[in-house]
Every structure is written in structure tokens, then in C-alpha cells.
Amino acid sequence: MYEHPKLTAFTGALDALFEEVDEFLEDQWGGAFSRHPNRPARGATENPVMDGLFEVIPDFTAGLGSEHGRGYVVSFRAATLEKISPEQFEFLMEEAAALIQLRLPAFFPGRDLRVVRDGKRFKIVGDFSLGEA
């Protein structure tokens, strides 16, 4: 299957950005809650999405029904059996969104990308054009 080389580069940069955000959250807040007993310890897998307390991933959406249109929803999850209050969860999501916004220019120089609130979640919107192969 053919994949546009610029799409491959874009998704690679996006994955690297989200890994950095995951690292930050684990460093700052990884001890705030006990990790789910079935979840591997931080660093136990090749992919930080699969271990540690937090899972922060980009999920593309066509944006149907959204005032912001298409983009990457910032999916956030804390792998714990403990009760996380809505205020705590919101704080952690805002931390992730703020770091993503701060680091977008470093990972995507020259692109107009920004983080916006879209309902209860955050979303990366802006210039996703790939140009020509």
C-alpha cells in the first residue's frame, strides 16, 4: 500500500510530539495515582502509549458537526482504578493541551497549527496540507 511520504513524516512528528507530552505528564504527575494493575510500568514497552499511568494519543477526525472542522483530537486517559475527579482530569487535559500548543512550532515549523477547545476535548487544527509527493 502506498503512503504519501509527507504523511509519513507528519504522523512521525505527531507521534514524537505526543510521546514528549506523555513523558512530561509521567514525570510531573505519574505518582499522583496508582497505575492500573494490568498496565505495564513506565518504560516496560517500546511504546509509551502502552505503559505508565497516562495515555495521550492523537485521533484524526473529519470534524463533522464541529465548529472547528477536521483535526486531531487529543485523546487522554489515565490508567488507574482510583477515582479521578472531573477537576483533576480537566487539569491534566489542560496540561497536555498547553504543552502540545507550546511544542507544535518545534515539531511542525512553518505550519499554522493550534490547539483549540472542541466540546469537552482539545483538538489540533490548522494546516494539514501535504503538497505533492
Query: Does pTM top 0.85 for this prediction?
Result: yes
Confidence of residue 2 (pLDDT cuts 50, 70, 90): confident
Give the total number of structural domains in the chain. 1
- Pick 15 or 133 by higher pLDDT: 15
Instruction: Indicate the residue type of 63.
Output: G
Region 60-67: what's the mean pLDDT?
91
pLDDT of residue 132: 65
CA 8 to each of CA 78, 79, 107, 111, 132: distance values in angstroms, whole numbers, following the listed order? 28, 29, 14, 16, 13
Average of per-residue pLDDT across 30-36: 93
Residue 3 has pLDDT above 70, yes or no: yes
- Residue 133's pLDDT is what? 54
The proportion of the chain whose per-residue pLDDT surpasses 90, expressed as a percent, equals: 79
- Rounded to whole angstroms, the Cα distance separating 62 from 40 reads 32
Across 7-14, average pLDDT: 93
Question: Which domain does 22 fall in, by range?
Answer: 5-126
Whether residue 133 is contained in a domain is answered as no
- 107 within a domain of the structure (yes/no): yes
Task: Calculate what percentage of the chain has a pLDDT beyond 70.
Answer: 98
Distance CA 20, CA 33 (A): 20
Per the domain annotation, does 131 fall within a domain? no
Q: Rounded to whole angstroms, how far apart are CA atoms 100 and 113?
A: 10
Question: Is residue 28, in this structure, part of any structural domain at all?
Answer: yes
Residue of 132 and 86 predicted with greater confidence: 86
